[in-house]
Amino acid sequence: MYKPIYLFSLVAISSATIFAQSALPTAAVPSGGLDVADHRAFAPPPARGIDSKRWESWSNMRMAATPLLGWKIGLRTNAFPKLNLADALDKIDGLGLGDVELSSNQKFDIAIPKNVDARLYPDEVRAVTDKLIAMNLNVVAYHTPSIGPDEKSIRSVLDLAQTLKTTVLVVDQMPGDLSLLDRLAGESKLKVAVCGDPKATLAAVASYSNLGVCGDTADWLEQGVQPADAVTQLKNKLFVLNLKDRSSHGKEGHDVPPGTGVADIGKMLLTMYYLQIKPSLLTISSPTDTLEKAMETFDEALRPVMANRVDSISRTAAIRTPASLTPEDRTEIEAALPKQAVVKPKKARKLLVLDLNIAYGGHRSIPAENFALEQMGKQTGAYETIFDNNLDNLKYPHIKQYDAIFLNNTVGMIFVDPEVRDGLTRFVREGGGLGGNHGTSHASMDWPEFSDMIGVRRGVHRANTEQLWVKITDPHSLLTNAFQGKEFLYEDEYFRFPNPPYSRTKLHELLSIDVEKSNMNQGVVHVPGSSVARADEDYAVGWIKNYGKGRVFFSILGHNPTLFKSPELSQFFLSGIQFILGDLDADTTPSETSSNAETKETARQ
């Protein structure tokens, strides 16, 4: 009796299971023999730049050339012949470059030991693009020895180039069907640069809108052609240019870092600048062990072009006026500004204010701060404000007509011209004043002497809504009198300086973040891969220092347009300005001796 019931139940359950399975949608079996259960959802792409150690695009001339000149400066990934692509990308990032020419003959990494070509599986291509995103690197050019001959093979390469978000495809061998390649490249919105003899290649591709020339200065030198002459001939048919210098003309020469041989890279770059020749990519080539030096020599070759461009921008860059301020903003600022000078001026003073930004849009607080600086001078009689972004004002002896220079949130490659640099440093060393705030720590980060003058380089920050407690580090200084020794809570974008040259042994700290009292984890760090932490827990907010016979005042505040709505901060800035003008005397002794700093560092270790 029990046995039949058991069999019936088993049959019923089995039938129900089969019916349920047949009612579900059938999943496709993946290729490669994998079972459905072996497939997992892919992780989302990484945060852009999360693994990059590269500084901002305005931190060196080779990156700033893109927004200023329309030139993308990069490196061929096979410049490191012993490395796979993933490791080569790390090296390129470390050299301060954001654009690359990717070689199809280079294996990706140890997990995917395959050349990065059209034969990769989509999942493998995704690994390549994830690496590029994580390093915040752009594949401007994709280099393959040949392409074609049929439409299918051409499309497979163009499809990969599109996936890599490439602008131009570089091929070594002259393609067989140029008309077909030109049409397919146009459909893919790509350009194709063909390498070879410049005259012959130009003649072959001249009539095609999507085809151009891949140039190499070393090849030109071997042929006895000077690079400046070659670019003049090729003009805007030059799609990609590899910059390689040689010790001499002809085949007897050998490779040397760009700018140190007979190529006269500087003259060629000036020629390209004046003729407005803008290839999709310029790559720097040099022996692997000299690449770091090659970056420096290239920047020097680029300097005359950049100086000309920056100087011309400065002559036409309008000062940001308070026209954008509301009547309420104006009223609040005017009410908070001091009505009299902190000390009586020793003579009539002239303060030159610049708000110049190069390859950066500028802070929204600049108009409010310009308005406050001008009104504060008028109301107190402490100084006359002259607003002018023309960098000629900083050249010697013209700069001598001013008592001090104030840099209002100036960011980018501003001090490129050697004459401007010499004028500013001489002015301060010989007794002039220099002041600045907030974004100015990001001005000319490639010029160590400027960073030494202001005491910092490249502030790193969290959100611009951080509310932190600011303590009065030196309550006895005349510059901090307005605070009456009392800490205050203030909302702004607080720069920290984990990088040299910032040190309490080099400056006199006036205000700093109260670490114990403040929430030190508000918002994310806005530069992935960067740290805002210092082991010594020292986060200055304002300081003064001497540089030669000159006087320097700097504060990290001023991202938000509320700085001069605070009576205390307004008085603090007036005091700082009167200090750099030479009217207010203050102790500039460094806040810490070198021996004390070394003792603290030893204790931390």
SS3 266: helix
Mean pLDDT of 510-515: 98
Contacts of 326 by beta carbon, 8 Å cutoff, 6+ apart: none
pLDDT in tens, 205-238: 999 999 999 999 999 999 999 999 999 999 999 9
pLDDT in tens, 260-314: 899 999 999 999 999 999 999 999 999 889 999 999 999 999 999 999 999 999 9
pTM, two decimal places: 0.88
Count the alpha carbons within 13 Å of 101 in the hemisphere toward its beta carbon.
30
Answer yes or no: are the C-beta atoms of 357 and 411 closer than 8 Å: yes
Q: Where are the domains of the chain?
A: 61-313, 318-604
Other Cβ atoms less than 10 A from the Cβ of 345: the count is 17
CATH class of 61-313: alpha beta
- State the average pLDDT for the chain: 91
Give domain 318-604's CATH number out of 1.20.120.160, 3.40.50.10490, 3.30.200.20, 3.40.50.880: 3.40.50.880
Q: Residue 314 corresponds to which tokens in the numbers above?
A: 């400065």
pLDDT in tens, 550-577: 999 999 999 999 999 999 999 999 999 9
Under the banding of pLDDT at 50, 70 and 90, the label for residue 530 is: confident
C-alpha dihedral (370, 375, 376, 379), degrees to nearest 10: 170
CA distance 553 to 317: 25
Strands (E) across 34-114 are located at 73-76, 99-103
Given this model, what pLDDT does residue 22 score?
Answer: 36
